[in-house]
């Protein structure tokens, strides 16, 4: 299994999906799971800071991330990238009960796979799968990450970085044995090839 972590806009989802395709492995976008929960929280009119209310929604939610992101049967593939979700997702993801529910589902998903897996997120190599075969931490300059996030802007990206690193449960951080790849100015193919090379190189 390959665990890919990194801050917003570092290229996690794009690289992880491309890597899974190159290897013919399964792919799980854990960030989409938290974003899906956030869309449901907002749709239900629950405050992202309502710890118990958000936890109840996460616990009961039925989530799918492929081929499109759905929660409770509702297609939220586009909605999860909108400004309201960008603003609220850090608070939802910081909820300990939400993280516990999502981590349990992520581990169950991987256990059910019959081939190799690529899993991306912010705590995959440190918390969810600390024994992953290969851990990768992607990074990029703030200006590059903001450009990739489109209309979200550097201020919003930086704010989410701070929130993800500061949260008490499963904060964003690099695993001590993760390889670090700066994706600034690099193509997806270049990054994927580097990861494949690392995967094939004996430790």
Q: Is the pLDDT of residue 126 over 80?
A: yes
Average pLDDT of the chain?
Answer: 94
Instruction: Kindly state the tokens that stand for 126.
Output: 């440190």
Residues 6+ apart with CB under 8 A from 127: 103, 170
Domains parsed from the chain with CATH numbers = 2-200 (3.40.50.300)
pLDDT at residue 199 is higher than 70: yes
DSSP states of 19-51 as a string? HHHHHT-EEEEHHHHHHHHHHHHHHTT--TT-H
Listed range (104-113, 121-130, 156-165) with the worst mean pLDDT: 156-165
Sheet bearing 74-75, strands edge to edge: 63-64, 70-71, 74-75
pLDDT at 34 over 80: yes
pLDDT of residue 202: 67
Tally of CA atoms within 13 A in the half-sphere of 29 that contains its CB: 24
* Residue 60: Cβ within 10 Å count: 10
How many CB atoms sit inside 10 A of residue 29's CB?
21
Q: What confidence score (pLDDT) does residue 203 get?
A: 60
Q: How confident is the model at residue 157 (pLDDT cuts 50, 70, 90)?
A: confident
User: How far apart are alpha carbons 147 and 142 in whole angstroms?
Assistant: 8
Q: What pLDDT, in 10s, does the model give residues 76-97?
A: 999 999 989 989 999 999 999 9
CA trace torsion 199, 30, 128, 58 (10° rounding): -170
The answer to whether 94 touches 58, Cβ cutoff 8 Å, is: no
């Amino acid at each position: 299994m390959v665990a890919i972590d990194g801050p917003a806009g570092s290229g996690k989802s794009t690289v992880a999906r491309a890597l899974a395709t190159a290897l013919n492995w399964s792919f799980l976008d854990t960030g989409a799971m938290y974003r899906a929960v956030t869309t449901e929280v907002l749709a239900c009119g629950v405050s992202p800071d309502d710890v118990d209310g958000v936890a109840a929604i996460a616990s009961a939610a039925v989530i799918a991330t492929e081929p499109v992101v759905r929660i409770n049967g509702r297609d939220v593939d586009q909605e999860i990238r909108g400004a309201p979700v960008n603003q609220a997702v850090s608070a939802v993801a910081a909820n300990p009960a939400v993280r516990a529910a999502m981590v349990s589902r992520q581990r169950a998903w991987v256990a059910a796979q019959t081939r190799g897996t690529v899993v991306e997120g912010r705590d995959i190599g440190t918390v969810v799968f600390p024994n992953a075969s290969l851990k990768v931490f992607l990074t990029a300059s703030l200006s590059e990450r903001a450009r990739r996030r489109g209309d979200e802007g550097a201020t919003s990206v930086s704010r989410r970085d701070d929130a993800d690193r500061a949260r008490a449960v499963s904060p964003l951080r690099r695993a001590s044995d993760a390889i670090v790849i700066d994706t600034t100015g690099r193509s997806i193919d270049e990054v994927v090839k580097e990861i494949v090379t690392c995967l094939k190189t004996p430790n």
